[in-house]
Copies of this chain bind each other. A is one copy, B any other.
C-alpha cells in the first residue's frame, strides 16, 4: 500500500484524513509544515522543493512502513509538495490513525522527523533581499 507521496500541486488534507479513519480509530494525530515568511531571521519570499523522485518515493515508503511496524497504529500517510511554493502554502502533511493517542502522536512525530532527515528533498529559498540558496543543513 502506498503511504508516501510527492505532489506537484496543492493537495486536500481532508480527503487524505478521511482515508485513514475507520471504526477502530480512537485517535488521529497530524502534522503540517507550512512555508513561513522567515527562516533564521531572514525574510523569505517563496521557495522551491526539488526531489530525487525515485529515491524519495522509495525512502518515504520505507519510513511509513517502519512506522506501521514500530507503533500500534491503524494507518498512516505522508505527502510532500515539490515545485514552487508561496508563503503560507502547505509543504508537508502527515496523518496517523490509531486506537489510542500515545501511538498516534509517537508515530506522527517519528514520520515527520525521519522524512526531514532522510528523504532526498531539497529546499531552495528565495529571500526578500534578492538572495537565494539551497538549504543543506548539517546531517544528524
Contact = CB atoms under 8 A, between A and B. Distances in A.
- Main secondary structure on A side of the interface with B: mixed
Interface size class of A (residues with CB under 8 A): 20 to 34
A36 interface: yes
A26 B123 CA distance: 14
Q: Determine how many copies of this chain the complex contains.
A: 2
Contacts of A101: 31, 33, 112
A21 B88 contact: yes
B31 A25 contact: no
Given A36-B99, A99-B36, A101-B112, A29 B26 contact: no
A27 B23 contact: no
A139 B109 CA distance: 28
